A and B are shown apart, each in its own frame.
Chain A
């Protein structure tokens, strides 16, 4: 236990009162036992082996049967683009390709801090060819440009969505944008749910205003219509339908839909419309799933090409893609534990959609 800061305390007479005020503020936090148990459960598992994503082109594996009970899809928007710093370098070459993630420059110097995306000046593959893997990620440069223009509006609001485990309805989530244009939402499956509710992050930011949202039997449209009146420029709506859960995220280029278990975290991020969907996206999935194909298709991505890396991850790219999309079907069935260059992939992601089959 660190020693009391007597020296500093004597430096400023209000120090003890500041300590007391901070302690009182901190004591306001009620430890969420569900969240705590969730972490404890994760820690009970063996650490997954680190994975260096080294993509090698191999014949496409046979499509897995639709026996996947659950496919979690993690869309990595690498949003910390907007923050600056060193970044993620992706390069491809010839028939082989590798994805290399540099340790990001960090505001505070440690691990797990902001990541930005940039292309190394020395990267000779910086000019991607059409239909090449590099083309898939070419928008990194564009995004970096966007990021430079919007570096002051980067913001993550998180919503915790907890659903009744017995809820039989469908949850629809849609993002609508007027002046703002970048929805990032995270829907992670929850093992233990409570009453349906979405808890917004406190306060609002800029043009993004948050509001409490309750599941509504009227469906997403009704909820959305209501929310649009309450939220400026951006809305999340939840509605229930039947059998399973539905997630619909409307981005600028169209709708994204899939079925998903009720999740617990939503993240939203605001950006200018010009930069929407030029954001490079990496999807981490525990396997192929029709909903994923539909999503990719909605994003304008067709012409699937598959490759398997040394760790057994299947990397999917697209000959035609309206956005910069790369799909990594992880070797394990737990995308949450996926690593890229030894770092949890979740450090690089901003969008998580969890699908159920």
Chain B
């Protein structure tokens, strides 16, 4: 456990930027999000029982606030990313990421946390501010939707 905000910063800055990048799609936004999150932790350090958890939650929240609140943008992204292309080994990563991008926001975030961050359900729940059962459900439904998007269903 980090004993100071500086220690937490050393350990978590880069992972958080990468996570925020996946959530926002922009490295600039990711940097801003993570900076804001660390400053929020810094301000509240003495009162936080779990600074790392608070940091994750802030990063997820701020990322969602920054990039995910526009229904129209999401719709455009979904529409534009709905490109039919052959699924082969070369295009596999983009194929999967495109499908992920088309998911509803919370499902997308849950899957990023689960499959990139390797978060457990309780950690996803903490980050999303929901119950673990809800987090599991989001992951489950996200996977189901992914299968559907990928034509595996």
Interfacial residues, chain A to chain B (CB-CB below 8 A): 1-5, 8, 11-12, 14-15, 17-32, 35-36, 38-40, 42-44, 47-48, 50, 80, 83, 106-114, 151-156, 158-160, 199, 201-202, 205-206, 265, 339, 344, 346-347
Given contacts A42-B39, A154-B69, whether A29 and B27 have CB atoms under 8 Å apart is: yes
Interfacial residues, chain B to chain A (CB-CB below 8 A): 5-6, 9, 13-14, 17-19, 21-22, 25-32, 34-40, 42-46, 54, 57-58, 60-62, 64-66, 68-73, 76, 92-94, 96-97, 100, 105-106, 109, 111-112, 114-120, 123, 127-130, 139-140, 143, 146-147, 150, 152
| Distance between Cα atoms of A202 and B100 in the complex (Å) | 18
Question: A199 touching B62 by the CB < 8 A rule?
Answer: no
> Which residues of chain A come closer than 8 Å to B62, judged between CB atoms?
112-113
> Which residues of chain A come closer than 8 Å to B146, judged between CB atoms?
12, 14, 18
Question: A18 touching B38 by the CB < 8 A rule?
Answer: no
> Which residues of chain B come closer than 8 Å to A347, judged between CB atoms?
36
Question: B115 touching A19 by the CB < 8 A rule?
Answer: yes
- Within 8 Å by CB of A160, from B28, B61, B68, lies B28
Given contacts A32-B27, A202-B25, whether A39 and B129 have CB atoms under 8 Å apart is: no
- Within 8 Å by CB of A152, from B38, B45, B70, B130, lies B70
Known: A153-B70, A155-B73. 8 other contacts (CB 8 A): A107-B69, A108-B129, A111-B58, A201-B26, A205-B73, A206-B73, A206-B76, A339-B43
Given contacts A39-B35, A44-B6, whether A2 and B115 have CB atoms under 8 Å apart is: no
| Distance between Cα atoms of A43 and B60 in the complex (Å) | 20
| Distance between Cα atoms of A12 and B147 in the complex (Å) | 8
User: Chain B: which residue is nearest A151 at the CB level?
Assistant: B71
Question: A8 touching B114 by the CB < 8 A rule?
Answer: yes
Question: B57 touching A21 by the CB < 8 A rule?
Answer: no
User: Chain B: which residue is nearest A9 at the CB level?
Assistant: B115
Given contacts A158-B32, A344-B36, whether A47 and B45 have CB atoms under 8 Å apart is: yes
- Within 8 Å by CB of A106, from B9, B96, B129, lies B129
Question: B57 touching A111 by the CB < 8 A rule?
Answer: yes
| Distance between Cα atoms of A158 and B66 in the complex (Å) | 10
- Within 8 Å by CB of A14, from B71, B76, B94, B96, lies B96
**B interface, by DSSP: helix, strand, loop or mixed?**
helix
Tell me the minimal C-beta distance from A58 to chain B in angstroms.
27
| Distance between Cα atoms of A214 and B92 in the complex (Å) | 36
> Which residues of chain A come closer than 8 Å to B139, judged between CB atoms?
8
Can you offer 26 A-B residue contacts whose CB atoms are under 8 A? Answer: A12-B143, A17-B96, A19-B115, A19-B116, A21-B92, A21-B94, A22-B97, A22-B100, A29-B27, A29-B30, A31-B13, A31-B14, A31-B17, A42-B35, A80-B65, A106-B65, A108-B130, A109-B130, A112-B61, A151-B71, A152-B70, A152-B71, A154-B69, A158-B28, A199-B28, A206-B72
- Within 8 Å by CB of A108, from B21, B37, B61, B114, lies B61
Question: B115 touching A114 by the CB < 8 A rule?
Answer: no
> Which residues of chain B come closer than 8 Å to A113, judged between CB atoms?
61-62, 64-65
Question: A21 touching B97 by the CB < 8 A rule?
Answer: yes
> Which residues of chain A come closer than 8 Å to B35, judged between CB atoms?
35, 38-39, 42
Question: B29 touching A108 by the CB < 8 A rule?
Answer: no
| Distance between Cα atoms of A80 and B9 in the complex (Å) | 28
> Which residues of chain A come closer than 8 Å to B152, judged between CB atoms?
14
Question: B61 touching A32 by the CB < 8 A rule?
Answer: no
Tell me the minimal C-beta distance from A189 to chain B in angstroms.
14
Given contacts A107-B65, A201-B29, whether A43 and B72 have CB atoms under 8 Å apart is: no
Most buried by B among A14, A30, A106, A265: A14
> Which residues of chain B come closer than 8 Å to A28, judged between CB atoms?
21
| Distance between Cα atoms of A43 and B10 in the complex (Å) | 11
Given contacts A26-B21, A109-B129, A158-B28, whether A344 and B39 have CB atoms under 8 Å apart is: yes
> Which residues of chain A come closer than 8 Å to B22, judged between CB atoms?
22, 25-26
